[in-house]
Amino acid sequence: MKGDHIRYCAGYKYQLDEDYSKTNGGCLQVGIYGYDIQTRFITLTRDGFLDIKNYYAWDGCSGPTIDDETNMRGGLIHDALYQLMREGFLPIECKEIADCLLHDICLEDGMAGFRADYYYEGVKLFGYASAKLGANPYPVLTAPCQCN
């Protein structure tokens, strides 16, 4: 199989073991309306319901954070929404909604208020680079290297 190669992305830490959806008929209401988006791993309906499919990979909360049970769900949803912005399915104006969801879900999952506020301020100030159209947090690599 000389010349054969694989393409992959490094950097993801977590992968869903089942579809993630919640409340209201099985989907999570995220408050982003009017879009009908269906990607390989993420669905967002016109009514604002989000579904994240089995095998979706994400990197957890970024920055000086510690991943634990209080930020895992919030980080998943936040990363999925940022991915939809990076890929052009959602406008960057949806960033504030995604950032508020991270804060609120972390509180719901037992995070201390001060820490949730810290996370929110972090993504509010520094998250734009990860949400902007075309941002690529993890480049696609090949193995073996096809370098010249």
The residue segments making up the domain with residue 35 are: 6-139
For residue 147, being part of any structural domain is answered with no
Condensed to tens digits (0 to 9), the pLDDT of residues 5-61 reads 788 777 788 999 998 986 545 568 899 999 999 999 999 999 999 999 999 999 888
Cα(134)–Cα(127) distance, rounded to whole angstroms?
A: 14
Where residue 139 falls among pLDDT bands split at 50, 70, 90? confident
Q: How many domains does the chain have?
A: 1
Enclosing H/E stretch for 103: helix 95-108
| pLDDT for res 26 | 56
In a domain, 145, yes or no: no
Residue 144 resides in a domain: no
Percent helix / strand / coil, the chain, rounded to 5:
35, 15, 50
d(CA 7, CA 136): 15
